[in-house]
Amino acid sequence: MSDITILGGGVAGLAMAAELSGRGAAVTVVDPAGPVGAHACSWWAGGMLAPECEGVLTEPEVVRQGRKAAEWWAGQGAEVVRNGTLVVALGRDQRELASFARRAEGVASLDRDGLKALEPHLAEHFDRALFIESEAHLDPRASLTGLQARLEGRGVRFVTEPSPSGQVIDCRGLAARDALPDLRGVKGEMLVVRCPDVTLSRPVRLLHPRFPLYIVPRPDHVFMLGATQIESGERGRASLRSVMELMNAAYALHPAFGEAELLEIGVDARPAFPDNQPRLRQGADRLYANGLFRHGFLLAPTLARMAADWLLDNRTPEVWFEDHCER
């Protein structure tokens, strides 16, 4: 049986552990910070499994691979909600909807009645929306802790002290910058609020030329508002400007958010390569899996599957692979 050590227990490391242990490998996950939590970038994620929406701003391969994510997470026991995504724009930005609809696939146009049938609260303020029915979302924190518990139950070891044995997969995110010079951080700030006056059943994206926003519903009228995208490796310090912009956009989406209770202000930096696409990079002593950018939950399953193909079956990954160590 193959012996594999995974460095880093965020979304990349856990997905990797799930895939490899599921295929029979003996897996140890090393994370000096302990069980998955606030130290992982993915803890602050929105949890949208929205390949079509992401496709508007990214490469087709992200869309192709991302379409497999919802099924993968459901297969790992995560509670995946398949209610689609809604996209709206404020009055004078209506044209943004047209270009979004042209650039994404599987988009349906809704009038007020159509919107009302899906999200009555949103129909109070918008008379048009786009609907991408095939998309899904999950609760990132519940999914990560759930997956870790499931893996422990399956015999995956979780340790805080590194004692690498066998093959090593480095999933340390931005912490692996020491070895990956082309990796950079892209700062993101997010808010978690409770708003009993608003009910949403699916993520909503507000298109705006300067302050785009998405809102992801969590249980009990809790909402995640995200997320800024700033070219900076800073992992702390949410700025008043960013928080204000997020709040403003949420208020514009529905005035009831003005009365929401502010539960949390989160900030971290996403690890990204120059093309904002992830990589499996084979180094001399380890395989790096990194650069998930804003697509941790969307693309970690693909990276994990390809890494397992490579390490267990010697099958060369079909995308995002670099062999820096010809063997």
Partner 1 sequence: MPVFYGREIASRLMLGTAQYPSPAVLAEAFRRSGAGIATVSVRREAGGDRAGQDFWELIRDLDVALLPNTAGCHSVREAVTTAQMARELFDTNWIKLEVIGHGDTLQPDPFGLVEAAQALTEDGFEVFPYCTEDLVLCSRLVEVGCQVLMPWGAPIGTGLGLNNLYGLRSLRAHFPDLPLVVDAGLGLPSQAAQAIELGYDAVLLNTAVAKAGDPAAMAEGFARAVEAGALAHGADPMEPRDMAAPSTPVLGMPFK
Q: Site residues (CB under 8 A) for partner 1?
A: 57-58, 99, 102-103, 184-185, 187, 209-210, 230-234, 237, 239, 241-242, 272, 274-277
Closer to partner 1 by CB, 184 or 254: give it. 184
CB of 190 to partner 1, least distance (A): 15
Rounded to 10 degrees, what is the CA torsion of 168, 172, 173, 176? Answer: -80
Please say whether the dihedral angle defined by the alpha carbons of residues 167, 67, 150 and 45, taken in this order, is positive or negative: positive
Rounded distance between C-alpha atoms, residue 150 and residue 75, angstroms:
12
Rounded distance between C-alpha atoms, residue 322 and residue 316, angstroms:
10
CB of 41 to partner 1, least distance (A): 15
CB of 204 to partner 1, least distance (A): 21
CB of 127 to partner 1, least distance (A): 23
Is residue 95 within a helix (H) or strand (E), and if so which, with residue range?
helix 94-103
The two three-digit tokens of residue 224, written as one number: 């995640």
Closer to partner 1 by CB, 64 or 157: give it. 64
Closer to partner 1 by CB, 51 or 146: give it. 51
Closer to partner 1 by CB, 209 or 258: give it. 209
Tokens 């995200």 locate to 226
Closer to partner 1 by CB, 57 or 159: give it. 57
Kindly report the number of other CB atoms within 10 A of residue 111's CB atom. Answer: 11
Rounded to 10 degrees, what is the CA torsion of 298, 303, 309, 310? Answer: 170
Closer to partner 1 by CB, 214 or 223: give it. 214
CB of 272 to partner 1, least distance (A): 8
Kindly report the number of other CB atoms within 10 A of residue 50's CB atom. Answer: 30
CB of 71 to partner 1, least distance (A): 26
